[in-house]
Chains A and B, each alone.
Chain A
């Protein structure tokens, strides 16, 4: 086993060596511009990009023609939300999303609010799930778009995409889903799920950074978007800019591997994740799971360790890379807005750690991380005045803190 251990696969992933191998010639040999129509360099680059497009389309149950390449999921989300809002301004000015979306969805929505659009930010329950009846009730005759993520990046909760898509189509609305975390980790079919727009990213699926896609439905309905990047008219005019051919080739190969190996990989990673969770929970008291107990991505387990602060805990788990919802890991001093939205409470949000497992993690690593986490929590609880008070029978939540 090699240190340090990487349990932060929801942040980014290591490029699969098979993907890297596929990409390599496109830097130094087949380096043409896919838009060069008059010579073999351009033709081979275009062919590679089109093959990749078909492969990525197939991974979604879509046609390659429906794939628009972008720099990553942030750009895809911006293009989907702003592009649809601008294009369908005549039809309405109302967008529905939810409070636990990634900033790359929330911020474009807030930007549109400033331009006069109206946005409904649906709340979530303790598991991170929205209420579908509330979604239905919030639809008005001015609603044009529903944007709800397939799976959450912090807690891993999976939204019932298929049912949301059905609701959207019943009412004649467009449905966009940010599938950055879900793509390649769970089966997705844009037709079965009534998805009109879908964002995905290369680097979350063992592909390279700097490449993403936006699926844009071409029929039933045909979705049109106002370009957010003007220029040479690439990608059917929706996203100008020279294609990142090595990135595209790598993304497609990464997606191909994910889809092909998913039946074996997903249960394996889930088993590791559950082993980690159970190992920790069986040795420590006051550990709570954030997110949905079942409807959750196979790799993510977000735990709150009561009486212990998240950043201190990460310091204690030497040579292990994880994330925390603690304020102290960011410049803002505000704890995770996602955990807050789940009603976790600021104290437990400060005490949270997200472990995200992936393809290259092993059981040996899980056991090592379990032991390190348990030891660090025990040590920090000995240092914690809150733990001491709890041991003395004081209900810490009832204390009047003057802060």
Chain B
């Protein structure tokens, strides 16, 4: 299979690779997929508490070139958006933008799932902070990778 120019561009020059501090209250982390399936995406967003907009986004992906490109594109698109706006991104938008063939559609689905999982995570953090203002969310969650992944991982 040959790759489209946009997939190649994102593969060769992935945007926003890296990690944000997952313990910060305004950072949401979404980890979706599974190694056995050949794809794992971690997508993180940092939300400005004042404006409610996504000010930064980072990803790391284990997967094929199309999976890397889908998550790279996702981080590019969600930056500057509000959480509600980011929720509106559909996998079909990613398919169209990257000209993904049918066999690679699951990569775009995973990217959409990763966005949603990250948003869900940051919203839940916010709710928990509202419920128990005195509790430090960061300390409570630290070192519990298994649980955290379980919480933020959604369907593939």
Interface residues of A (CB under 8 A from B): 307-309, 311-312, 315, 326-329, 331, 333, 335, 345-347, 350, 382-389, 392, 394, 396, 398-403
Contacts and interface: CB of A to CB of B under 8 A. Distances in A.
Interface in B126-156: 145-146, 149-150, 153-156
A402 B40 CA distance: 11
Contacts of A328: 38, 63-64, 66
Of the candidates B17, B37, B42, B146, the one having the most CB atoms from chain A within 10 angstroms of its own CB is B37
Interface string B60-76: 11111111100000000
A384 B60 contact: yes
A104 B39 CA distance: 30
Interface in B32-83: 33-42, 60-68
Nearest to A332: B103
29 contacts: A307-B62, A309-B38, A309-B39, A309-B63, A312-B63, A315-B3, A315-B8, A315-B64, A315-B65, A328-B64, A329-B1, A333-B37, A333-B103, A347-B36, A350-B35, A350-B36, A383-B61, A384-B62, A385-B61, A385-B62, A388-B19, A389-B145, A399-B146, A402-B34, A402-B150, A402-B153, A402-B155, A403-B33, A403-B36
Contact of A312 (B64, B106, B145): B64
B31 interface: yes
Given A307-B62, A388-B19, A331 B35 contact: no
Contacts of A346: 35-38
Of the candidates B39, B60, B154, the one having the most CB atoms from chain A within 10 angstroms of its own CB is B60
B151 to A, nearest CB: 10
Contact of A382 (B3, B17, B154): B17
Contacts of B150: 400, 402
Contacts of A399: 145-146, 149
Of the candidates A307, A335, A346, A403, the one having the most CB atoms from chain B within 10 angstroms of its own CB is A403
A308 B38 CA distance: 9
A350 B33 CA distance: 13
Contacts of B155: 402-403
Contacts of B146: 398-400
Given A307-B62, A309-B67, A312-B63, A396 B38 contact: no
A401 B38 contact: no
List of 9 A-B pairs having minimum Cβ-Cβ separation, nearest first: A403-B34, A401-B34, A347-B35, A346-B36, A385-B42, A350-B38, A311-B64, A328-B64, A385-B60
Contacts of B149: 399-401
A322 to B, nearest CB: 15
Interface range on chain B (Cβ under 8 Å from partner): 35 or more
Contacts of A350: 35-38
Contacts of B156: 403
Contacts of B14: 383
A176 B106 CA distance: 42
Contact of A401 (B1, B35, B60, B103): B35
A57 B103 CA distance: 45
Contacts of B19: 388
Given A309-B64, A388-B19, A402-B153, 5 more contacts: A315-B11, A350-B38, A385-B40, A399-B145, A400-B146
B60 A388 contact: yes
Nearest to B8: A315
A386 B35 contact: yes
Nearest to B145: A394
A375 to B, nearest CB: 13
A382 B60 CA distance: 8
A326 B38 CA distance: 8
Nearest to A392: B145
A153 B106 CA distance: 29
Contact of B60 (A309, A312, A383): A383
Interface string B1-43: 1010000100100100101000000000001011111111110
Contacts of B154: 402
A307 B67 CA distance: 14
A346 B41 CA distance: 17
Contacts of A309: 38-39, 62-64, 67
A396 B106 contact: no
B153 A401 contact: yes
Of the candidates A308, A389, A396, A402, the one having the most CB atoms from chain B within 10 angstroms of its own CB is A402
